[in-house]
Structure 1
Amino acid sequence: MKSHAQRKHRYRRILIDLAVLTAIGLVGIATASDVRAETDDDDAEAPTGSTFLGRGTSIELGAGALVGPAYDGAKKDKVTPYPFIKVEGLLYDHVSITTTRGIAVNLLPRGPLEAGISLGYDGARAASDDPRLRGLSDISTAIAPGAFIGYRFHSFSFDLDVKDRLGNDKGAEATLGARYTFNPIPKLRLSVGPSVTFADRQYNQTFFGVTEAEATRATALGNPLRAYKANAGAKDAGLSMTAFYELSDHWSLAGVASLKELLGKDAQSPLTQHRLQPEVGLGVLYKF
């Protein structure tokens, strides 16, 4: 017999799958309607370029490095390569591809409000990343479908992003953020704002929990850990800033700095060595 919690989790998964399929269907209808409208209007200007790229497509690619905690809660830092991808304006502004969201389909491409679905990934964690993780099971990289909604008002933006890890290491999290973007000097664009992230019990247990078996194994390997069960709730809150400086029409420098604090049960986990988690990064971008 399945427990009430198992049935509840199964129903939640079914609802998420239905919501994603419904949204995909709506995107297909909306995209088809746009294409028909452009085709049927003889007086309208024919779009330049391919249907896939559209007229307002922009492509920016780059690479850099991030210096930050080896894992959420670590006191040890590590350097991580960071690819930068920003492709916007695909399929008449319905589709974009970015490093943060992955492939995103916007149901409301015109106007200050945006809402849609996304398909990205969520990171991995290996026991070899830090001595504090010795004896714990590795966490695999996971495909993470999600949804988003945002609002733009002049230089301000407000966003809510939700993603759900698939596979063995499951869990969902939602990030609410606000940003202010401005140009203090020519060619320099800054964006700064706060954010807070919430996670369900499975996500927090995946990254901050310790099972009885893991605690026993870790202790036997010289890494004494106690078993710990994480709960759903606020995961972290912080402040971040990004900077872009144009070197030429095509090349630019990008920088990022952030500081977040782990909250609630995640901050009390035996895996958490530092509640404050700083991160800085630098990269080079090319705009096609």
Structure 2
Amino acid sequence: MPNFPALPSLTQVSLIAQAASALSIFGGARVRSNRIDAMEGDCPSEHDRRDNTAVTPVTAMQAVLAATFLALCPPVHAQSVSQEPTYGLSGRIGLNAVSMRTYEGSPNTRTLAAPDLTLSYRSRDWGTVEFGQRGLIWNAVEAGRFRFDLVAQFDPGRKDKDTSALNPTPGDKRLAGMGSVKSSTEAGVGIGYGPVMVVARQSLSERGAKGAQVDMTVEHSWPLSDRLGLRVAHSATWANRDYMQTYFGVTAAQAQATQFSVYTPKSGLRKVEVSVGAEYAVAPKWKLQANLAISHLGDVAAKSPLVGRLGTKGSDDDRRFGGFVALGMAYEF
């Protein structure tokens, strides 16, 4: 959806009118003064002196500066108001019902009850610290549209058996014999400008998933009304050889214990994803949320024998698609 420049705000319209009025008066005064000087010499009448003193050079300069400021300022978006950020603690708590694949690349799905907990603390001197579904993020630098973040994320790993609706760890009995991938912690940095954010992260654990990833996300949000908001995000994730081997590779020992063939992936595009989210305020602090995401595995990941087809007659492209659907309610504070 393209971003159209919004109409000037009431404040801008007022400033424009004031600037135009001041400039026109000043110009008119100069014309009248020149005509009188030509006809009567350098002795203007009392009425003309009052007209000439109505607009001083300071007033004219203010008008010029106001017009210049309005010309140089970028157009504001509709309904936007420049406000001081809210400092202190804020957050949300809720519950979502999520339908998703049992693991990335699985042909099977499951329904998960997922808690939604987000805590954010903003200070004047130390930026913003946020803990939520994306992990722990410290927005250390925020200068205009530029952002610099320090990121710590949690990788839940993967089980080689089915997991319950209350367990967020992916798993499927289809992977029996592959062994479990233990959970791990990832650390990295993020650099953003406007709607674009790039995050590079590296696994810190020796017992769980290994490897490095780079995510690039472009996100836009629109307030459709006082109660309804819409968010659209596009993302792509690159992963190195170690990460690909952990989640998409099959070693010789694993091949002997399962029906899968040996596969040794290289680094490459892990997936691309498009997500759409809507939020409706049913009450001042209660929000109804709906999210839809569609992902597409890259070539290296899609060639893994662990990636199953949607059906026995599915095409090769069926192996690549995934995503989730979520519906929930949250309370903001």
CA drift of 1:110 comes to 4.2
Q: Does residue 63 of structure 1 match 2:103?
A: no
TM-score (norm 1): 0.74
| 2:283 counterpart SS class | coil
CA contact (8 A) 2:156 2:183 kept: yes
Inter-partner Cα distance in structure 1 for 2:180 and 2:210: 13
Q: Which has the higher relative contact order, 1 or 2, with Cα contacts under 8 A spaced 6 or more apart?
A: 1
| 1:109 counterpart SS class | strand
| 1:125 counterpart SS class | coil
Deviations 1:156-199 (A, max 9, x none): x1111222222222111111111221123331111113211100
Letter in 1 for 2:128: V
Q: Does residue 182 of structure 1 match 2:214?
A: no
- The root-mean-square deviation of aligned C-alpha atoms, in Å, is 1.7
Deviates more, 1:85-94 or 1:173-182: 85-94
CA drift of 1:80 comes to 2.2
Q: What is the 5 A alignment of 1:76-95?
A: 76-92=108-124, 94-95=127-128
Deviations 1:63-94 (A, max 9, x none): 21221111110110012232223323334362
Q: Point out the structure with the larger strand share.
A: 1
Inter-partner Cα distance in structure 2 for 1:260 and 1:55: 36
Q: What corresponds to 2:153 in structure 1?
A: 120
Q: What corresponds to 2:139 in structure 1?
A: 106
| 2:244 counterpart SS class | helix
Inter-partner Cα distance in structure 1 for 2:134 and 2:304: 28
Deviations 1:221-273 (A, max 9, x none): xxx11111111111111211111111111111111100011012110000011
Letter in 2 for 1:76: N
Q: What corresponds to 2:198 in structure 1?
A: 160
Q: What corresponds to 1:287 in structure 2?
A: 332
Inter-partner Cα distance in structure 1 for 2:278 and 2:216: 21
Inter-partner Cα distance in structure 2 for 1:56 and 1:215: 53
Q: Does residue 73 of structure 1 match 2:105?
A: yes
CA contact (8 A) 1:86 1:96 kept: no
CA contact (8 A) 1:84 1:98 kept: no
For structure 2, the 5+ residue unaligned runs are 1-85, 162-170, 309-318
How many residue pairs were aligned?
226
Q: What corresponds to 1:149 in structure 2?
A: 191
Identity across matched positions, percent: 26
CA drift of 1:58 comes to 2.2
| 1:215 counterpart SS class | helix
CA contact (8 A) 1:127 1:134 kept: yes
| 2:247 counterpart SS class | helix
Q: What corresponds to 2:232 in structure 1?
A: 192
Q: Does residue 237 of structure 1 match 2:272?
A: yes
Letter in 1 for 2:202: D
Q: What corresponds to 1:17 in structure 2?
A: none
CA contact (8 A) 2:118 2:133 kept: no
Work out which of the residue numbers 283, 288, 301 in structure 2 matches 1:253: 288
Letter in 2 for 1:136: M
For structure 1, the 5+ residue unaligned runs are 1-53, 219-223
Q: What corresponds to 2:174 in structure 1?
A: 132
Inter-partner Cα distance in structure 1 for 2:112 and 2:92: 20
Deviations 1:204-235 (A, max 9, x none): 110000110011011xxxxx111111111111
CA contact (8 A) 2:130 2:138 kept: no
**Structure with max Cα Rg:** 2
CA contact (8 A) 1:58 1:88 kept: yes
Letter in 2 for 1:123: P
Q: What is the 5 A alignment of 1:14-29?
A: none
